[in-house]
Chain A
Amino acid sequence: MADSVSSEEVAVISNTDITSTESENNIINTMVERGTALLRKLEINVAEAEKRTGKNTVNMQETYTVYLIEIRPAETEGGTPAAPDTLWRRYSEFELLRTYLLVTYPYIIIPPLPEKRAEFVWHKLSADNLDPDFVERRRVGLENFLLRVASHPVLSNDKIFFLFLTEEKGWRDAVLETGFQDKADSRLKSLSAMFRVKNPDKRFTALKQYSDELNSIISQLLRIRARVADRLYGVYKVHGNYGRVFSEWSAIEKEMGDGLQSAGHHMDTYAASIDDILEEEEHFADQLKEYLFYTDAVRSVCRKHELIQYELEMAAQDLVQKKQQKEELATGTVRIFSLKGMTSKLFGQESPEQKESRLAALEQSIQEGEETVKEKNTECQEFVRAAWDDIERFKEQKDKDLREALISYAIMQISMCKKGIQVWSNAKECFSKM
């Protein structure tokens, strides 16, 4: 399975009998084949989910779910697979890890977590967090998250991430020790602040716009898909009534009875088949949701860039102002209004000593300002370089994953059609024997 780029697999993909789960596995395989050092060493699974009850921080009883993370050394030649190292994590710990990554790698598009609460629900699906189907889909989502991080060229090398996978007890302290919380607070503040960048980077502007569009479109798509699922459910289930009435009708018929009765059974089968069909389609919805949440991460990177850009512009502007001040002071002309200038006009010229000291202070300030600008410039350039690297990587990943998801969706549709043809052909045969 790890050896995926071969002509054989191409033949397999052309075979439309491939199931949608196999298609999804192709995405995971792609992640593995990217071959980060981490994934060469380890195999990561989120194997199970379990309910726990315990006291929370305000000393109240609560029920929550924990997920079992299994780490195995990657398969060695001809060796029996070793027993996995395991630990349990709850959703809030995943959230903490992600927040840490967001703060520590602001230029990286951090993979999203599966949704906290079930959204875009169609009527049969439970919106309850403790519902077994929801928990199961969340388990898959969490595994997906870990694999995304583990396959990322930058994130996979993070020590805290490694500890998350290996240190059950001490991890929380380790994270807090990094002091990322302080950075988090200031970052959150600045991200929510309103500011305008004078010379926005066109590429980032375009990316933000695209990300917003994608967010809107996927939300729309998920909403309508839920409605479509609802309606399709109705169509199938009503056919179940045929089962009952054919059975009742067959009781009063002589020659027609058998045919009607069997046809009725097929109608029941048809009506029941929609449950599995729609359950499978949820996988597709989950794949879309991942990218919906990814758009938030993209937006976040764009905003961070804006912030850095803004700070650079502010620093540059500040420097220009100071230089002008110095010039004015040196030449004695007042071009720009300044309080000092006014007061000196009002209260008389200052002494040459005062002027000298002020000039020196300004000179110092200008030097510092130039340092700041240089720093900010470097920061900005590095950010742009690193971010754009990751953005290109992300774009490729997105195109590939979504194409795969669409293929998987088409396969599901074909499977649904085949089932339909089967059932109705069977019914047709029963009718023709009436």
Chain B
Amino acid sequence: MSISAPKGLASSGQKPITEILHPLSAAEEPLSPGPDVTVSGGRDKEVGLTNGTPVETPSPASASVLFNRLHLDDDLDPDTRDPYADTETHDLFVTVDDPKKHVSTMETYITYRVSTKTSRIEFDLPEYSVRRRYQDFDWLRTKLEDSQPTHLIPPLPEKFVMKGVVDRFSEEFVETRMKALDKFLKRVADHPVLSFNPHLNAFLSAKDLNKRQGLALLTKVGESVKSVAGGYKLRVRPPEFCALGEYLDTFNQKLGTIDRIAQRILKEQSEYLTELREYGTVYASWAGSEEELQRPLEGVAGCVTTCCGALEDMSENMSQDFLPVLREYILYIESMKNVLRKRDQSQAEYEGRLEAAVLRKQEDRTPIPAEVEKCQDKMECFNADLKADWERWQSNKRQDFKQLLTGMADKNVTYYEKCQAAWESLITVLQDKQTEDKTSETN
């Protein structure tokens, strides 16, 4: 059995995924959710939410609205375009927002609104709006990992937070986490294979996500990968994957360093801010004992205060937007390394079985069992998926970091612009007084 165009997976811009045959599905069912695989979406939506939050009835989004949106993307400058709107057909839009706190007798937790707009036929409705909590996202990720082990699954923000150290219900924490969850979901929705996963469908559309039911949706690939026997050792990793592995290690290291630098800068800035505040108050207090100099000194105190505010804004932005994205990528690298390891495993298994089979063939002319060929297919599928995801990941990484670093530079520029404006307005005040004095002198 030959493996048809794995490249088709990566750049399936022309055909919807349902029409591209999965390499392993030539004789079997397509990977996409078929009619026998009942996605809970359509069925469960009669069941009400147990969480007690009202859900808006989704208004039907007309196809033309979606269409317009797509055209808009084409017109934009490539650099300013949403990094996730690439050349593929975009017909699934997801958003995570509107955090709300829930207090029950057993526990207190936060839910987020997950909104979906889609024209895909895999969904019964064009729009959905459900509420999900972190646990639900975690469930989704686990399911995706299990059912699509050859693919890179985007990371989630940290699950556990030290209760004493971080306030799980503080606005900042919730905001940061929500942004990360939004990013996670968008990355999944953006993925040509993952976005068709039935678990995602359930997650997005089910009113009540019945996790315990354990939808029996493990694909054939998933099952076979899960049943990879351990004990096979990889001998030689193909060079492209070696390079990949090395890159990941180095990149991980560099990101770690950048994280440390950013944290150190925040610390220094915070200490600078403390001193600067006191500095401003001394000018204000000096103004109190002066007559002619009162206004200039108050002016300086005011300027210093403005600069303090601007600095505070910038620091807040760094810790809320910059650092979390950085850390997310470190998690992403971990995910990627995991996939790489699994790929190594499948290669090891194949090579191991092949070796054994060859030996047996030499001994008693037993033909190579079909199993071995299946292993080979599995490995080649893995390689193909990984390469495709790797390309995507590299491209997204480039966009993400371009945005991230440009944003950081921009915030710094804004900070200095605010400060400059404050001092310039002070000078005009001070110098006006001077001109007054000079003209009165010459008169």
Interface residues of A (CB under 8 A from B): 5, 10, 13-14, 16, 210, 213-214, 217-218, 220-221, 224-225, 227-228, 230-232, 234-235, 238-239, 241-242, 245, 248-249, 252, 255-256, 259, 263, 399, 402-403, 406-407, 409-411, 413-414, 417-418, 420-421, 424-425, 427-428, 431-432, 434
A235-B272, A242-B261 known; A410-B416 Cβ under 8 A: no
> Is the beta-carbon distance between A231 and B268 smaller than 8 angstroms?
yes
Closest to B421 in A: A417
A263-B405, A417-B416, A421-B417 known; A256-B434 Cβ under 8 A: no
Partner of A232, one of B272, B412, B424, B434: B272
Which chain B residues lie closer than 8 Å to A210 at the CB level?
289
Q: Which of B271-313 contact A (CB under 8 A)?
A: 271-272, 275-276, 278-279, 282-283, 285-286, 289, 292-293, 296-297, 299-300, 303
Which chain A residues lie closer than 8 Å to B405 at the CB level?
263, 427, 431, 434
> Is the beta-carbon distance between A228 and B272 smaller than 8 angstroms?
yes
Partner of B296, one of A221, A248, A403: A403
A210-B289, A224-B278 known; A413-B430 Cβ under 8 A: no
Which chain A residues lie closer than 8 Å to B26 at the CB level?
none
> Is the beta-carbon distance between A231 and B272 smaller than 8 angstroms?
yes
CA gap between A428 and B293 in the complex, in Å: 40
Interface centre among B265, B406, B424, by most chain A C-beta atoms within 10 angstroms, is B406
Which chain B residues lie closer than 8 Å to A434 at the CB level?
398, 401-402, 405
Which chain A residues lie closer than 8 Å to B289 at the CB level?
210, 213-214, 217
> Is the beta-carbon distance between B275 and A406 smaller than 8 angstroms?
no
Minimal beta-carbon separation of A306 from chain B (angstroms): 21
> Looking at chain B, what size class is its interface with the partner chain?
35 or more
> Is the beta-carbon distance between B296 and A406 smaller than 8 angstroms?
yes
Q: Which of B13-21, B90-98, B251-259 contacts A (4 or more CB under 8 A)?
A: B251-259
Which chain A residues lie closer than 8 Å to B228 at the CB level?
none
Minimal beta-carbon separation of B263 from chain A (angstroms): 10
B188 contacts partner chain A, Cβ-Cβ < 8 Å: no
> Is the beta-carbon distance between A255 and B398 smaller than 8 angstroms?
yes
Closest to A413 in B: B423
Q: List 30 A-B contacts (CB under 8 A).
A: A14-B428, A214-B289, A218-B286, A221-B282, A227-B275, A228-B276, A230-B275, A231-B271, A232-B272, A235-B268, A235-B269, A235-B272, A238-B261, A238-B265, A241-B257, A245-B257, A248-B254, A249-B251, A249-B258, A255-B398, A256-B402, A263-B409, A406-B296, A407-B431, A409-B300, A420-B413, A421-B413, A421-B416, A427-B405, A434-B405
Minimal beta-carbon separation of B432 from chain A (angstroms): 9
Closest to A266 in B: B409
Which chain B residues lie closer than 8 Å to A428 at the CB level?
406, 409-410, 413
> Is the beta-carbon distance between A252 and B250 smaller than 8 angstroms?
yes
A sample of 4 more A-B contacts (CB under 8 A), given A228-B272, A411-B427, is: A13-B435, A227-B275, A241-B261, A256-B398
B420 contacts partner chain A, Cβ-Cβ < 8 Å: yes
Minimal beta-carbon separation of B34 from chain A (angstroms): 40
Closest to A270 in B: B412
> Is the beta-carbon distance between B272 and A431 smaller than 8 angstroms?
no
> Is the beta-carbon distance between B292 and A407 smaller than 8 angstroms?
no
Minimal beta-carbon separation of B439 from chain A (angstroms): 8
Which chain B residues lie closer than 8 Å to A406 at the CB level?
296-297, 299-300, 430
Partner of B303, one of A221, A241, A410: A410
CA gap between A417 and B265 in the complex, in Å: 18
Partner of A432, one of B265, B299, B402, B419: B402
> Is the beta-carbon distance between B406 and A399 smaller than 8 angstroms?
no
> Is the beta-carbon distance between A217 and B286 smaller than 8 angstroms?
yes
CA gap between A230 and B271 in the complex, in Å: 10
Which chain B residues lie closer than 8 Å to A421 at the CB level?
413, 416-417, 420
Closest to B410 in A: A428
Nearest first, the 8 A-B pairs at minimum CB distance are: A428-B409, A417-B420, A231-B272, A420-B416, A431-B405, A399-B292, A424-B412, A249-B254
CA gap between A427 and B283 in the complex, in Å: 35
Minimal beta-carbon separation of B284 from chain A (angstroms): 11
> Is the beta-carbon distance between A420 and B406 smaller than 8 angstroms?
no
Closest to A217 in B: B286
CA gap between A149 and B109 in the complex, in Å: 75
Which chain A residues lie closer than 8 Å to B416 at the CB level?
417-418, 420-421, 424
Interface centre among A227, A402, A417, by most chain B C-beta atoms within 10 angstroms, is A417
Partner of B265, one of A225, A235, A259, A420: A235
B69 contacts partner chain A, Cβ-Cβ < 8 Å: no
> Is the beta-carbon distance between A414 and B424 smaller than 8 angstroms?
yes
CA gap between A235 and B276 in the complex, in Å: 13
Interface centre among B303, B415, B434, by most chain A C-beta atoms within 10 angstroms, is B434
CA gap between A16 and B432 in the complex, in Å: 13
> Is the beta-carbon distance between B398 and A5 smaller than 8 angstroms?
no
Which chain A residues lie closer than 8 Å to B282 at the CB level?
217, 220-221, 224
Closest to A4 in B: B438
Which chain B residues lie closer than 8 Å to A418 at the CB level?
416, 420
> Is the beta-carbon distance between B250 and A231 smaller than 8 angstroms?
no
> Is the beta-carbon distance between A417 and B254 smaller than 8 angstroms?
no
Which chain A residues lie closer than 8 Å to B240 at the CB level?
none
Which chain B residues lie closer than 8 Å to A409 at the CB level?
300
> Is the beta-carbon distance between A410 and B427 smaller than 8 angstroms?
yes
